[in-house]
Amino acid sequence: MNRILVGLLAALAGAGVALPAVAQDVASLAVTPVVIAPAQSDLARTIKSGLAATYYGARKDSLAYREAQKLYFFYGARHFEPIWLDEANGAVGYSAAAQKIMKLFGAAASEGLRPSDYLTSALDVTAVGNDPAKLAALETAFSAATMRYATHIYTGRIEPLSIDANLDIQPKQLDQSALMLELATSDDPAAVLAKLEPTHPEFLALKARLATFDATQAERPITIEAGATLKPGMSDPRVPALRQRLELPAVDGLVYDEALIAAIKTFQAGAGLEDDGVMGPATLTALNGGAPVTREDILANMERWRWMPRDLGKFNVFVNIPEYRLTINRDGQETYATRVVVGSTKNQTPIFSDNIRHIVVNPYWNVPSSIIKNEIAPKTRSNPGYIASQNMELIYQGNVVSAYQVNWAAVGDSFPFRVRQKPGPSNSLGQIKFLFPNKHDVYLHDTPSKSLFGRAFRAASHGCVRVQNPMEFAAALTANEPNIDRASLEAMFGSSERWVNPEQQVPVHLAYFTLRVGADGELRSYADVYGHNAKLIKALGLGDAAAPVIADAAPADTTLSP
C-alpha cells in the first residue's frame, strides 16, 4: 500500500488540498479545480473503469449521477488508487485499514448501533474475482459503509424531523471527503472514527451502562412498595425498606423519623423534587428509579445525545422537558437549577438549540395567532369587553383600537387584529422574559400562575417554558455580565417594556431525555410525556413500541399564557 499512499499524497499536493488532522464538522473547503489523475496500476485502472461506467451511465439530473460523480472525482484525485483494497500475488483483498474498520463494524453493538447496517453482503470480497465492475463496486461499497458508520456514530441513525415536526434539530454535517482522506492516511483508522463519538458525559455514562446492562438490572436498588403518603411522625411497615434504600442504619420501630425525613429531603433535592420531606407518589416513583429502564430506552437516549451539538457551550442553559427542569451549567458542572412548566401534550415545546440574546423586563405578550384564533377571537366577538378585562390591546395596522369601536357584524368570521397583553401584574409572561428569537416563537419567561410548579406533572403551557424562580435565574444567567445583574433588572420593574441586551449570548438547549445519569451515577427515568421516546424506539427498529402521548395528569391551566 505504500505505493498507493504515495500516489494519494502526490495527487493531493497537485490538487492543492491540505490533509486534515481530524474529521471536520460542516464542510467549508474552498473550491478547488477538479483533478482527474491517471490510473497507475492495474487495480486502479479496474476501479476507474467501473466508476466511469456508473458515472457516465447515470442520468445527469439524478441522485445516482451526483453520487457517482462525487466518487469519480474523489478517486480521480488519487489516481483511482483504492483505499480499502490491496493486491498481492495477483489476488485482491482488503487493506490493513479496511480490516481494522471491519472489526469496528462487528463491534458496533457496543456503540448502540447495528452491525448489520455495515456488514452487508456487498462487502464480500470473495465474490468479486477480477471483474472490474465488481471490484469498483466493492471499493465504493466499503466507502459507503464506512461513511454510514461514521455518520451514525457522529450524528445518529435517525433524522430527528422524521420522528416529529417538533424535533427541530438539524443533523450535524460531516465532511466526508476530509474524513475519507484522513482514514486513508491513518495508521489507526479506528481511532479516527472514535473521535466522532459524542463526548458528553451523560452519553458516555449511558454507553457504559449499556455494556453492563444485564448485570446492573440485577443490582437495581430495593423497591419501595406503593402505599399512603408518608409524613413526619407516621408509622408504616415500609419504613425498614426505606431506611435500607437510603442506606440508613436499621432501628427498631416503624416510625417515619427525623433521620428518614432528612434523607428524603436530600434525595428530593437531588432529583429536582420539592424537598419537603414528604414521601408522596412522585418521590416514591423517583426512589424506585421511575419507570423500568430497558435496553431500548438506553439506545434511544444515546441516539438523542448524538443529535445534540458537540459543544453545548462552556456556559449554557439546559432544559430537559420530561424532567420539567432547567439548569445552568459552567464547564460541565451544574451551577443553578429550577423547576419549569413546559408545553402541554397538545401544544408541545419544540426541541432545538439556540442562543439567549435579549432579556425583556415588563414585557408585552404578543399573543400567538393560534391562541387568538382559538381562544381570544371567539370571546371578543361575543363580548368586546373581554380584551380590556385581560389587560389586552387590539392592534390594527400598527395602531391600538378599541374593541367597542369595531363593527363585529361587518368583521364576520375574520379577525384582522394582532393582540398584545400590556405589562402588569396579570401579564401572562410575568415581569421578565428571556428571548432567543426563533421560528417557533417560544422562550423562557416568568408567570403569575405559580401553583403549577408544585405539581409533579408540569406540561401545561402553550409551548413556552415558564421558570419557577425567574429572578434567581436572571441572576445566575447574567453572572458573566459586567453591567447586568438581578438588582439592575429589578430596578426596571414598572409599566414600560424595557429591553436589555447582554454582551454575551448564552447557548440554550431545549432537550428531551427520558433517562438522565445523576451525580450518584444512578440512572433516573422520566415519563415520555410527548411520546418522542416511543416513536424513536420504533424508528430505530428496536421493537413494536407504540407512541402514546401521555394525557395531562393534572387539571388544565386555564390562564392564558404561552
In the block, residue with C-alpha cell 479516527: 192
Q: At 264, is the secondary structure helix, strand, or coil? A: helix
Distance CA 368, CA 546 (A): 32
Number of C-alpha atoms within 13 angstroms, CB side, residue 482? 1
Q: Is 131 left (phi over 0), alpha (psi -120 to 50) or beta?
A: beta
Distance CA 522, CA 516 (A): 8
Is the CB of residue 274 less than 8 Å from the CB of residue 454?
yes
Q: Residue 117 has which C-alpha cell?
A: 447496517
Is the CB of residue 357 less than 8 Å from the CB of residue 505?
yes
Distance CA 79, CA 70 (A): 15
Residue 464 among the catalytic residues:
yes
List alpha helices for 58-107, DSSP H.
63-76, 96-106
Residues 6+ apart with CB under 8 A from 129: none
Q: At 279, is the secondary structure helix, strand, or coil? A: strand
Distance CA 245, CA 239 (A): 10
Distance CA 254, CA 249 (A): 13
Catalytic residue among 152, 445, 462, 509: 445
Q: At 287, is the secondary structure helix, strand, or coil? A: helix
In terms of Cα–Cα distance, which of 358, 313, 305 is closest to 508?
313
The strand pair at 315-320 and 506-511 is best described as parallel
Catalytic residue among 152, 464, 509, 532: 464
- C-alpha dihedral over 261, 266, 267, 270, to 10 degrees? 160
Is the CB of residue 276 less than 8 Å from the CB of residue 253?
no
Residue 532 among the catalytic residues:
no
Distance CA 252, CA 477 (A): 48
Write phi, then psi, for 507 (nearest 5 degrees): -60, 135
Residues carrying an active site annotation: 445, 464
